[in-house]
Amino acid sequence: MVIIPAIDIKDGKCVRLAQGDFDRVTLYADNPVEMALTWVQKGAELIHVVDLDGSVAGLPRNAEIILEIVKKISIPIQVGGGIRDMETIEFYLKNDVSSVILGTAALQNEKIVRDAGKVFPGKIILGIDALEGNAAIRGWTQKTSRNAIELARRYENCGLKAIVYTDIKRDGMETGVNIEATKTLAAAINIPVIASGGVATISDVEKLLEAEDCGISGVIIGRALYTGAVSLEDAIRAGKKPLN
């Protein structure tokens, strides 16, 4: 299982939000590029980067910093936030971003997700941010009545690389991953699922690893890494442990 450190960028800095609330921001680093280099040094194989300002604005706001991360590190990054048209998708992918995450676009423009999956197979990730089972959009500021599993099923066989599934209530709270909801989604579709939101201890990684055969391929860890509650090196070791 791939352990993926998260770098959320707001106003050019590395932050974490509590439950996606832009009024509950914690600053962790002034320089996201240096933060990315730190995670690489600690053994990361992939980094998850989100342009929080872009997610609300609907277009990239921190692209310059993101491309600087790409230039400075030796591992792939996946990028989300404000990616809602083919031009932005092409911009990031042509500048060596490994894969892009479409969230709001998936609910507002189904065609762009299908077209992107066809033009860039294996490069498009669907981001589903759920609140009590239903998807939320625009940086989690707008809730919808769309069921997360039904939404995911619409995009099966569309060339998607994975689905990042985030439980908003748990994100940034270190209260534990919503294992059951993540397993239910992964078992219901044929697209690999990356768990996100709420990792508190190494036991969360171990529990997800036990559910790996359901189709859970990785886990994104944010606040727990920044607070020191979880060591990236320990998480990576846990993620590679063979199941008995």
pLDDT digits (tens, 9 = 90+) for 206-243: 999 998 888 999 999 999 999 999 999 999 999 998 76
Active-site entry in 21, 53, 115, 129? 129
Q: Are 79 and 49 in contact (CB under 8 A)?
A: yes
How much of the chain, in percent, has pLDDT values that exceed 70? 90
pLDDT in tens, 234-243: 999 999 987 6
CB 51 within 8 A of CB 60: yes
| Mean of pLDDT over the chain | 89
> What is the pTM for the complete model shown?
0.91
115 is catalytic: no
pLDDT single digits (tens) 165-181? 987 765 545 667 888 88
Query: Higher pLDDT residue, 4 or 147?
Result: 4
**Has residue 18 got a pLDDT over 80?**
no
pLDDT at 139: 43
pLDDT of residue 141: 46
Q: Which CATH number is 2-239's, of 3.50.50.60, 3.20.20.70, 3.30.70.60, 1.10.490.10?
A: 3.20.20.70
The yes-or-no answer on residue 167 being catalytic is: no
Quote the pLDDT of residue 129: 81
| DSSP calls for the chain | -EEEEEEEEETTEEEEEETTEEEEEEEEES-HHHHHHHHHHTT-S-EEEEEHHHHHHTS-SSHHHHHHHHHH-SS-EEEESS--SHHHHHHHHHTT-SEEEESHHHHH-HHHHHHHHHHSTTSEEEEEEEETTEEEETTTTEEEEEEHHHHHHTTTTS---EEEEEETTTTTTTS---HHHHHHHHHHSSS-EEEES---SHHHHHHHHHTGGGTEEEEEE-HHHHHTSS-HHHHHHHHTPPP-
pLDDT at 149 over 80: yes
> Could you report the per-residue pLDDT of 64-112, keeping only the tens digit for each?
999 999 999 999 999 999 999 999 999 999 999 999 999 867 777 889 9
Q: pLDDT at residue 140 above 60?
A: no
